[in-house]
Structure 1
Amino acid sequence: MADRGASAQSVPDDWPAHSDPILALNRMGTFDWDLDAGLFHMDAQAYEVFDILPEEFDGRPDSLAIRVPRPEGSRLDTVVSRAIKDGSENYGAYFRIRRRDGTPRWTHTQGYIRRDETGRPRRIIGIVRDATQELEESEARSLRAAQDAAFRQQTNVVQIITAALSHARSVQDVIDVLKDTHGVRNIGAASLVMGLVEAGRIRLVAEGPEGSFVPGTRITRIDEPYPMGEVVRTLSPRFIESPEEFADGYPILWPHITDLNIISAAYLPLIAQARPIGAMGLLYNDRCGFSTEERAVLVALGSSIAQSLQRAMLYEQEKDLAQGLQQAMLPRTIPSVRGADVAVRYRAGSAAGSLGRDIGGDWYDLIPLPGGRVGAVIGDVQGHDTHAAAVMGQLRIVLRAYAAEGHTPATVMARASVFLHELDTDRFATCLYAEADLTTGVVQVVRAGHIDPLIRHQDGGCRRVTVHGGLPLGLSAEFGRLEYPVTAIELEPAQTLLLCTDGLVEQPGADLDDGMDLLTTLIASGPDDVRELADRLIEMAEARGGDDDVALLLLRRRGPDSVQTGGRLQQHVAPGDPEALTLARHMIRAAVCAWGARARADEIELVADELITNALMHTEGSAIVTLRVLSGSERRLRVEIEDSSSALPRRREAGENGVSGRGLLLVDRLTDVWGVEARGGGKCVWCEFLMPNAPDSPDRTGPGWHS
């Protein structure tokens, strides 16, 4: 303690102040400190508090240094000086002294500062008392309060972890919860290890922090002398409360973790449905021992983690099964299509709370059709379960079969609806079927309750195509409304047709039109390559998440250097209408000459006339005559005669003088290739003729021209 005003020689007449007997009775000593004279007077009780004899003290404050350690004296001087300088009337402080036997003692002092009329400090009169017991009781209360607070914090952390684990849907989710900022570090653990039981072994699935992995413990047998194996065998937790206990109990493991400064650990069996599925270890570097309450908290934490792990493992197994079933129902491969680039994608949804039901009825399909045509299908069966996937698989196969039979798009959709209705299921399905003629670019689209398609232009612009539609499949048959209007659109070279399910568009709480506008913008800014664009759209769906599946099909018509049309002609010829037949003959010759096939005009006209006549004679109804030019590696002129009869043409032997029976012989002899294909309830007889590679420009002003 500093010696203040030691040069002064006089003291006040009333110095020292008389001590109060009551203070002495309460074991409080008094002192009177004359700041001018630098004298420090203590009564008998004060000597006892400082544990100093009167003959050992010369009345100077700095002589108390034999009992007051230097750091404590400096701290006490700071308190007194501050009170004097800032004009305070009193001060108080706790400080430690060193008793005669060397033991420490807490002491408390309070002083009253007397000043003269100018405010200058003259004397300090105060008390000193033994505060050891007081502070020990206070420290005990503080320690108990801290322990209670720590226990409450641990309990809160366990509650937070348990709440977070309720949303975990994979083993990795469980691990992430334990490692995040609200995880096991908040209950004081310095390191974490966790393993799962697999075929009599424990496979380590998590350890932390980085660098804490113990070599040789990635996979261990349950019967090996490791703590996780022990708790799995015994189904009881193992609390290790000292380094010595750790070293004695697990001599193989201990040398590998000494660098982590581990002094205690808690190993917990992870038990679900009365069987161990794994074990977890929490390692500590700042505590020895576990209270009863702490052990109970950790056991509860282990139980919560075990339940979450079992749920996550079951979910992953169910998800793998569901996704395998879904993939089996989708086409294994997508066929290459001449004249088009195609990309398909599928993303399984993640329906919250539907364990093992991340499977739906979304599907896509691509169906090669005769005559350079292709059918593109996108659909969605109601529901997210294996039943929806099974219905989807049947519906996909049936729709594919109807399309391959040659039915019109509207008929394909109507028959698929009847099939679904007769399947005796409570599910309905939305669907969109687009039949594209890649030589002409004409696309016929029918829609059954599905969202509209989109077209991306060569310059990057994108637009939504409004398609008039009917009821979803199954419902239209149930209500007897099987009409599906056909919308014809034209797909120019380098344009892309996009079909998707609503999982790519819909968002909870958002309007469908807003979703379509957002998708349109995303497609417009995406890459030109259909595969890269499909990847971009699926990445967007993944980032957004969502509960619904996503199926996606993109079809891009290739540019002018691939298969394309050089002209197209179509004419209806009604029975009993000789003028229509004559007009068709003239029109065929004019078109063939205009398209640069003048050298074969007689052959083409003769074959077309024969096929038209056969259609009118042997079937009921009109004939539809279609001519088109196909160009690519070789230019060909294709003639198609379509009628309403499913009976196939057959060759017949003509008599010596007979006229009938020679038609198909002419067709076979004059054409380069010919064939028959089903078209809905009828058929189409077609033939092709090779043409020169440098045609004249077609005359599109001739009679009966239809672009």
Structure 2
Amino acid sequence: MTENRALGTEREHGGEIGPAERLAMNRTGSFDWDLASGTIDVDVAGLLVFGQDPAAFDARPATLVGRLDRAERERLEGVVRDALAGGRSSYAAHFRLERDDGSEQWTHVQARVLRDRDGRAHRIVGIVRDATSEVTHSEFVMELERRRRRQTDMVERSTRAMARAVTVDDVTEALTGPGGLARLGADGLALGLVENGSLNIIALSGESLEVLDDLRVRRLESGLPLHGTVLSGQPLFAESFQDLAGNHPLLAPLAGRLPFRSAAYLPLVAQARTLGGMALFYRRRTAFSADERNLALGLAAIVAQSLQRAILFDEERELATDLQATMLPRRIPRIDGGEVAVRYHAAWSGRQVGGDWYDVIPLPRGRVGVVVGDVEGHDTHAAAVMGQLRIALRAYAGEGHAPSTVLARASRFLAELDTERFATCTYAQVDLGTGTARAVRAGHLGPLIRHTDGRVGAPKLPGGLPLGLASVFGDEEYPETRLDLVPGETLVMCTDGLVEEPGADIGRGVGALAEAIAAGPPGAEALADHLSQRFWERWGAGDDVALLVLRRSPDPGTTRAPRIHQYVHQADPEGLSEARAVVRRALRDWGMRESADDAELLTGELLGNVLLHTEGGAVLTLEVLPEPVRRVRLTVQDRSSAWPRRRTPGEAATSGRGLLLLDALAARWGVEPRGEGKAVWCEIGPAARA
């Protein structure tokens, strides 16, 4: 009635509605606030917007905002205060007040601040209006937009996560790992695949879902909601999980242990084939809107497509892995005088395996051939070529050819195959009785040798061109390098997948491998496991890896007659001093300190003679002879057939005194032939002093 009276007092011009009436009909009024007197003049429409009775209004600003709660009133007063203090000429604000019927009204005020010439505010005039309709509509639109963005974000994040999934394990990890449930907007998940007439639950994620473990593998038949969804191909949106469980006897006993209020059961269909089903569980949701149902179906489609791609990948990979396994040796022969361990690891990335291989070949005269190689490419063709090349190389080696001849013939064989592939490899013939190894290299990594004291060396092997390319270019020269394995030393050969890190120099990987070999256990099998576990998860996952570890059996002697061996390379500047230290340390450990000084001196003389006057390294053997009077026996073996000569050095001579020292310090000494070279030996003990 008050509003109608106010409208009736407005003067009409020619029967038309005047400006004031038009504003009042749209619940818009005006005010004039005199800051000097502290009074405010508000028209009738403005008072109605503020919920004030025009007849009772006392022109006080505090009365005008009396219906606002404290927080809203303080916020509005803060807006006015900031405008006045900041020198602004206007301000605007939205605020809420409670109507007579208890509903909430959004009110908008727009005001202009009038100032004098000195910039002091003395008056504020403005309008005030009921903005409930537009704010409510805006909130509704904003909520729709937020919901749309949230759904789009869920789809985009799920798509990105599934795009990176290659195997079925990758898919389950993306769904159950960190952020998996958040991407789906759910509180729990169960994922099942159809296999041989059964639905196998391959993933469970969410609180308390472990109670479903007993239902992981069941025949695909009705009785459970997820099974029914898979059979019918139709989704099931259960807005009351407890009611749903009551209709499924198998699920009913478990419902009380699951903290969910609703669930969505979705078939996983790709190219008209039902692969399985996915269940999403929710703690707070009790209804599914049309948009939410469509979102759930869209997420299920993304998962289904990823699973279809992953299943195909796993099937192709299994086929390729089986092919690779048939190309590698089915068993490794036992060898006398040592132990050998091999490992093969297929790449984690890539659809198929490659052409890496290893082999251990029994040879005439008690020797053994060891080879590690890599055919170019990462596909089934590379694996097939590898199988043919491995068999050919094995045949050439078994015929007793020298290592250089074996690789030359293998290169010719590969060049004559109907393929453009080439291969790299390292091959060695090893006599574990003497420790002699003859190695050749065709564009491949050289071997590493772990010495008995734990040091790891990288012998220099001058190599030839990769197999196949060498024959194409007419250069089938593969120079042989002789290596000497003393008892207890280990030969390690591998393909580049074990040491090659993407974006880094391969030397870094070889250095890391050498450190791992030095820190690993002594046995061949244990060392192979140590290297596999350390490197395959570090950077060997992107390429195939073949690893071969050959250890010559140690020769510690006995408790009464201990024995050690040490190889000293001619190009190793620290080898001589290391050998002297090893001799002194061993005699101290064996309780023979009285012989340590003489033994260390003679070690330096015998080894120095080899390193100066021959073209190769030497093998030092230190042992205790179990005689009634214990003696230390030193033996230095080299590849030279030239025997030492006794001569009388002049006073200024810097050499020629080695045999004089032997005569003075050793109880006895001698020289004897050893295969391709000789051995100089001496015995040190109490008899020498007598």
- For Structure 1 versus Structure 2, the TM-score category normalised by the shorter chain is 0.5 to 0.7
The corresponding residue for 2:486 is 492
Q: 1:561/1:697 Cα in 2 relative to 1: closer, same or farther (>3 Å)?
A: farther
1:409 shift after superposition: 3.4
Are the aligned partners of 2:450 and 2:457 in contact in 1 as well (CA < 8 Å)?
Answer: yes
Unaligned runs of 5+ in 1: 1-20, 567-628, 635-694
The corresponding residue for 1:134 is 134
Q: 1:109/1:450 Cα in 2 relative to 1: closer, same or farther (>3 Å)?
A: closer
The corresponding residue for 1:552 is 547
The corresponding residue for 2:356 is 362
The corresponding residue for 1:303 is 301
**Which residue identity does 1:496 align to in structure 2?**
T
1:107 shift after superposition: 2.0
CA distance in 1, matches of 2:529, 2:480: 30
Q: 1:303/1:440 Cα in 2 relative to 1: closer, same or farther (>3 Å)?
A: same
CA distance in 1, matches of 2:88, 2:285: 45
Q: 1:150/1:34 Cα in 2 relative to 1: closer, same or farther (>3 Å)?
A: same
Q: Does 1:699 align with 2:688?
A: no
Are the aligned partners of 2:236 and 2:266 in contact in 1 as well (CA < 8 Å)?
Answer: yes
The corresponding residue for 1:456 is 450
Matched position secondary structure for 2:165: coil
1:544 shift after superposition: 0.6
Q: Does 1:561 align with 2:556?
A: yes
| Structure with greater Cα Rg | 1
Q: 1:272/1:86 Cα in 2 relative to 1: closer, same or farther (>3 Å)?
A: closer
The corresponding residue for 1:313 is 311
Q: 1:114/1:248 Cα in 2 relative to 1: closer, same or farther (>3 Å)?
A: farther
Are the aligned partners of 2:47 and 2:64 in contact in 1 as well (CA < 8 Å)?
Answer: no
CA distance in 2, matches of 1:704, 1:231: 79
Cα deviation digits, residues 193-230 of structure 1 (max 9, x gap): 21111233322222223434453442344333433223
Matched position secondary structure for 2:671: coil
Moved more, 72-81 or 200-209: 72-81
Are the aligned partners of 2:208 and 2:258 in contact in 1 as well (CA < 8 Å)?
Answer: no
Cα deviation digits, residues 508-534 of structure 1 (max 9, x gap): 565656654554455456555544443
Q: 1:489/1:341 Cα in 2 relative to 1: closer, same or farther (>3 Å)?
A: same
* Alignment counterpart, residue 431 of structure 1, candidates 412, 425, 436: 425
Q: 1:42/1:524 Cα in 2 relative to 1: closer, same or farther (>3 Å)?
A: same
Q: 1:429/1:118 Cα in 2 relative to 1: closer, same or farther (>3 Å)?
A: closer
Counterparts of residues 159-238 of structure 1 (less than 5 Å): 161-179=158-176, 183=180, 185-186=182-183, 188-215=185-212, 216-238=214-236
Cα deviation digits, residues 132-157 of structure 1 (max 9, x gap): 22323333443343344335434433
Are the aligned partners of 1:439 and 1:565 in contact in 2 as well (CA < 8 Å)?
Answer: no
CA distance in 1, matches of 2:471, 2:181: 59
1:62 shift after superposition: 4.8
**Which residue identity does 1:458 align to in structure 2?**
T
CA distance in 2, matches of 1:375, 1:407: 11
CA distance in 2, matches of 1:467, 1:429: 18
CA distance in 1, matches of 2:343, 2:449: 17
CA distance in 2, matches of 1:344, 1:495: 17
1:174 shift after superposition: 0.8
1:173 shift after superposition: 0.5
Are the aligned partners of 1:194 and 1:281 in contact in 2 as well (CA < 8 Å)?
Answer: yes
Matched position secondary structure for 2:321: helix
Q: 1:52/1:330 Cα in 2 relative to 1: closer, same or farther (>3 Å)?
A: same
1:186 shift after superposition: 3.6
**Which residue identity does 2:544 align to in structure 1?**
D
Q: 1:52/1:346 Cα in 2 relative to 1: closer, same or farther (>3 Å)?
A: same
The corresponding residue for 2:611 is none
Are the aligned partners of 2:443 and 2:463 in contact in 1 as well (CA < 8 Å)?
Answer: yes
The corresponding residue for 1:375 is 369
1:540 shift after superposition: 1.5
**Which residue identity does 1:278 align to in structure 2?**
G
CA distance in 2, matches of 1:400, 1:702: 30
Q: Does 1:72 align with 2:72?
A: yes
Q: 1:558/1:57 Cα in 2 relative to 1: closer, same or farther (>3 Å)?
A: same
CA distance in 1, matches of 2:247, 2:365: 80
The corresponding residue for 2:156 is 156
Counterparts of residues 588-599 of structure 1 (less than 5 Å): none
Matched position secondary structure for 1:323: helix
CA distance in 2, matches of 1:182, 1:701: 73
**Which residue identity does 1:204 align to in structure 2?**
I
CA distance in 2, matches of 1:197, 1:153: 30
Moved more, 177-186 or 225-234: 177-186
Q: Percent identity?
A: 46
CA distance in 2, matches of 1:323, 1:145: 50
The corresponding residue for 2:682 is none
Cα deviation digits, residues 526-558 of structure 1 (max 9, x gap): 555544443343332432145432111122334
Are the aligned partners of 1:456 and 1:524 in contact in 2 as well (CA < 8 Å)?
Answer: yes
Are the aligned partners of 1:440 and 1:565 in contact in 2 as well (CA < 8 Å)?
Answer: no
1:282 shift after superposition: 2.9
Q: 1:700/1:274 Cα in 2 relative to 1: closer, same or farther (>3 Å)?
A: same
Are the aligned partners of 1:470 and 1:485 in contact in 2 as well (CA < 8 Å)?
Answer: yes
The corresponding residue for 1:348 is 346
Are the aligned partners of 1:339 and 1:562 in contact in 2 as well (CA < 8 Å)?
Answer: no
CA distance in 2, matches of 1:255, 1:108: 57
**Which residue identity does 2:146 align to in structure 1?**
A
**Which residue identity does 1:551 align to in structure 2?**
A
CA distance in 1, matches of 2:173, 2:517: 35
Q: Does 1:50 align with 2:45?
A: no
Q: 1:233/1:632 Cα in 2 relative to 1: closer, same or farther (>3 Å)?
A: farther
Counterparts of residues 267-666 of structure 1 (less than 5 Å): 267-285=265-283, 295-352=293-350, 354=351, 357-358=352-353, 360-369=354-363, 373-393=367-387, 395-397=389-391, 399-400=393-394, 402-414=396-408, 416=410, 428-470=422-464, 472-473=466-467, 484-507=478-501, 516=510, 519-520=513-514, 523-524=517-518, 528-538=522-532, 539-561=534-556
CA distance in 1, matches of 2:457, 2:64: 94
1:99 shift after superposition: 2.6
The corresponding residue for 1:621 is none
**Which residue identity does 1:378 align to in structure 2?**
V
Q: Aligned-pair RMSD on alpha carbons?
A: 4.4
Are the aligned partners of 2:671 and 2:678 in contact in 1 as well (CA < 8 Å)?
Answer: no
CA distance in 2, matches of 1:106, 1:704: 105
Are the aligned partners of 1:96 and 1:104 in contact in 2 as well (CA < 8 Å)?
Answer: yes
1:280 shift after superposition: 1.5
Q: 1:560/1:193 Cα in 2 relative to 1: closer, same or farther (>3 Å)?
A: closer
Are the aligned partners of 1:507 and 1:546 in contact in 2 as well (CA < 8 Å)?
Answer: no
Q: 1:704/1:476 Cα in 2 relative to 1: closer, same or farther (>3 Å)?
A: closer
1:39 shift after superposition: 4.9
CA distance in 2, matches of 1:64, 1:155: 50
**Which residue identity does 2:545 align to in structure 1?**
V
Are the aligned partners of 1:361 and 1:391 in contact in 2 as well (CA < 8 Å)?
Answer: yes
Q: 1:117/1:254 Cα in 2 relative to 1: closer, same or farther (>3 Å)?
A: farther
Matched position secondary structure for 2:537: helix
CA distance in 1, matches of 2:33, 2:242: 56
Are the aligned partners of 2:494 and 2:545 in contact in 1 as well (CA < 8 Å)?
Answer: yes
Aligned length in residues: 557
1:276 shift after superposition: 0.9
**Which residue identity does 2:172 align to in structure 1?**
I
CA distance in 1, matches of 2:253, 2:39: 63
Q: 1:483/1:244 Cα in 2 relative to 1: closer, same or farther (>3 Å)?
A: closer
1:31 shift after superposition: 3.8
CA distance in 2, matches of 1:84, 1:476: 90
Q: 1:30/1:255 Cα in 2 relative to 1: closer, same or farther (>3 Å)?
A: farther
CA distance in 2, matches of 1:118, 1:335: 105
The corresponding residue for 1:10 is none
Moved more, 507-516 or 144-153: 507-516
Larger RCO of the pair (alpha carbons < 8 Å, separation 6+): 1
